[in-house]
Amino acid sequence: MTTEHLERARRLLCALQNKIRDAVIAARESQADRFAQVAGITASDTIYRVDRISEAAILAWFEDYWPRSWPVELVMEGLEDGESVTFPAGTPVGRTLFKCIIDPVDGTRGLMYDKRSAWVLAGLAPQRGASTGLKDIVVAAMTELPTSKQWRSDQISAIRGGGPKGVLAQAVDWRRRTRTRFIPRPSRARNFEHGFASFARFFPEGKSLIARIEEELWQELQGPGASGHSPLIFDDQYISTGGQLYELLVGHDRMIGDIRPLVFKKLRRVSSLTCHPYDICTALIFTEAGGIVESPEGRHLDAPLDAISSVAWMGYANAHLAGKVRPVLRRLLKRHLG
């Protein structure tokens, strides 16, 4: 894709997310008491009524606005297990040029109780059939779905190869329809003391083993002679992978890890309560801004652009912090997970 094509794709994804944000806000004003109702169960997650609102907005928008000269396969949470749809409608997948993966509402559980923002996430990749993966995403966008007391909704997007200058971040006043540019900057800290760094353990499954690995990590990084002194590392369980990436992107957090798929495998538990490719599809934004996203073992992160695969990942604000954690984490994963 040319730069012109990438920028056009960025505008399209942002316009789509504007539509979703407006639809969710409007629905909340008229049916907030129904947001938390269960609407369905898929192989990847529980679907709530608030999810259905955004899914309907997405399908209608693609039908009305996606360029017919850019046939696309759409993969998103909420479609029937393993299915995808194409636009223009009826286009064979083999004749599409792009694959677009979307999480209509990432952070549903926090938003439906009006506790914390959720996010609309989208990534676009050239179509490579079943081999299309996270590594192929060339444009990504994320838009905040704010709580009822928020006037601000942040929208951030990036194109592959654009670097920090190619990351476009805007604070949107959704009431007044005004936008203000801002520059997201991952933390430049060289240690974790007095900062936020967390492992995802939102649900009871596997929580004790994850916590054990996390505690031993901090003990080893603290080093000898530090017994009895807390490293003062703060924990934040934001139940949204997109939200976690945002916290890293704007410098609030220094490290976030999600090793749930590895832990569940060790415990021989089959669980849908993990990160999926649509949850992590905006990692491109963070890496273009200078952050690091990789597998827990320190390898390049990749997964199929589908709605069912589980993804384990680590995010670091900068290379220095990654260098501190990576060797220790490898040893701990081998020790506890084999």
Q: Digits of tens for pLDDT over the chain (338 positions)?
A: 899 999 999 999 999 999 999 999 988 877 655 665 665 566 555 666 677 778 888 999 999 999 999 999 999 987 765 578 999 999 999 999 999 999 999 998 899 889 999 999 999 999 999 999 999 999 999 999 999 999 999 999 999 999 999 999 999 999 999 999 999 999 999 999 999 999 999 989 999 999 999 999 999 998 654 555 666 899 999 999 999 999 999 999 999 999 999 999 999 988 778 999 999 999 999 999 999 999 999 999 999 999 999 999 999 999 999 999 999 999 999 999 98
Domain closes at, from 181, 210, 233: 181
Q: Does 176 share its domain with 247?
A: no
Please report the DSSP string for 120-138 in residue order.
Answer: EEEEEEE--GGG-BGGG--
What's the predicted TM-score (pTM) here? Answer: 0.92
- Long-range contacts, stretch 220-223, CB < 8 angstroms, 24+ apart: 220/328, 220/332, 221/192, 221/324, 221/325, 221/328
DSSP run (H or E) holding 145? strand 139-145
Between CA 61 and CA 82 the distance in angstroms is: 22
What pairs with residue 173 in β-bridges?
Answer: 152, 178
**Three-state SS across 225-293?**
CCCCCCCCEECCCCCCHHHHHHHHHCCCEEEEEECHHHHHHHHCCCCCCCCCCCCCCCHHHHHHCCCEE
The verdict on residue 165 lying in a domain is: yes
For residue 88, cis peptide bond before it (omega within 30 degrees of 0): yes
Q: How far is CA 285 from CA 159, 170, 256, 297, 338, in A?
A: 8, 13, 16, 22, 32
The verdict on residue 187 lying in a domain is: no
Q: Give the domain CATH number at 221.
A: 3.40.190.80
Q: Does 99 share its domain with 211?
A: no
List of residues 6+ apart from 187 with CB closer than 8 A:
195, 248, 251, 252, 253, 254, 317, 318, 321
Nearest to 159 by CA among 1, 6, 4: 6
| Residue-range definition of the domain harbouring residue 297 | 195-337
Q: Does 144 share its domain with 252?
A: no
The verdict on residue 188 lying in a domain is: no
